[in-house]
Amino acid sequence: MRNFFKITAFLFLIVMFFLSCTSEEEIENIVSEEQKITTELTQKIITTATSLNDYNFFVSNATKSSCDILSITSGYFNNPEGSYSSFVFNDTESLDMWLTQYNDAKLQAFNSTGIEFSDEDFFISYIGNPSGIFSLEKRESMLNYFENCEFNFGNTTDYGLPFSDVSSNCNNNDNALINIFLYNEDGTSIYSFNSLDSVVDSLASYNFQNNTNYGLENVLVSSILYFNGTSEVNLLKTEDLLNYFENCMFSRDATDDDCLNFVYPITVNRFSLQLEEVITTAIENDEDLASAFGTDVGELNIIFPINLLGANGTVLTIENNEALEDALDNSSTYCN
């Protein structure tokens, strides 16, 4: 009898093992038929779902917010070729007024530069109130205002660029005047340098003459006066200075443009090996899409076809993962 129970238990384990293998094989077969989603495609889907240019960021949050529109918006248009035009919106009392001033600014920029800037070329430096005491410069600060209708202190942006972070050979040339200073422990500028390539020798000479021991960590690119045709801009923010030193221009990479948006709903299947079932979910917005693809996507598949909408009005019908990845790789093609 004891042997009978042992044999029965053994046979039960064997049967369960084969059933488990069969279930996994069936799931694997279903997944392979649908074409598995790669890690690279996953990241591109999340990037597209979560990316907003400054124009879309402001308009979408202002539309949802019950807060008053802050009366001042300062910023600039900047395209991949380095063309630039600044603007300031004043006395804005509603989103409709803001949109009117935005379109006026685009027209004025076109009249002065001959460049037709797109929404992707639009950047906000800060938003604020007429007193000028408070201004919001970072997205998280603006988002907090749209949610709570309150200003918070500490809404600052980094300015200046440490000499050690200058990663190119750009120097004073025809399109820019680079201002470089030596700062003491109190943050006071005490010496200026003529050019980037003279910093090391000039600093050594300054230390010798003044019996000091300042290092390169005390040297800062404080600003760049950038010229582009008839326009000029004084670059002060760290991110703008870094932008210049990427290619010795105040430009941006057009491949960073995210001009495609998912059209919802999108249906996805998640294959659960534990429950041995397929869970079908309808995704209704960008937040849910980013959340779904932020977890394990090894068992996740999109039900095609899906549609993508370009900023220029183009509607793309996507039939498979390969076509989706190709479209997301060429998102800038569908800008205005």
- Which tokens hold the place of 209? 């003459």
Query: What's the rounded Cα separation, in Å, for the pair 165 and 159?
Result: 13
Q: What is the pLDDT of residues 310-328, one digit of tens each?
A: 988 899 999 999 999 999 9
The type of residue at 141 is: S
On the question of pLDDT at 118 being above 70, the answer is yes
Query: What's the rounded Cα separation, in Å, for the pair 115 and 78?
Result: 10
Q: Which of 177-181, 200-204, 250-254, 285-289 has the lowest mean pLDDT?
A: 250-254
Confidence of residue 295 (pLDDT cuts 50, 70, 90): confident
Beta bridge mates, 179: 223
Do the Cβ atoms of 286 and 50 come closer than 8 Å?
Answer: yes
Domain ranges (residues) in the chain: 29-50+258-334, 54-148, 161-253
Of 75, 93, 76, which is closest to residue 84 (Cα–Cα)?
A: 76
Of 126, 115, 46, which is closest to residue 336 (Cα–Cα)?
A: 115
Do the Cβ atoms of 35 and 48 come closer than 8 Å?
Answer: no
Of 75, 73, 87, 88, which is closest to residue 129 (Cα–Cα)?
A: 73
- Which tokens hold the place of 316? 């793309």
Q: Are strands 266-272 and 219-228 parallel, antiparallel or unpaired?
A: unpaired
Q: How far is CA 28 from CA 11, 143, 255, in A?
A: 26, 43, 35
pTM of whole model > 0.85? no
Q: What is the pLDDT of residues 21-36, one digit of tens each?
A: 444 444 444 455 456 7
Q: Are strands 300-302 and 266-272 parallel, antiparallel or unpaired?
A: antiparallel
pLDDT of residue 36: 78
- Which tokens hold the place of 149? 């209708």
Mean pLDDT of the chain: 85
Of 118, 120, 98, which is closest to residue 109 (Cα–Cα)?
A: 118
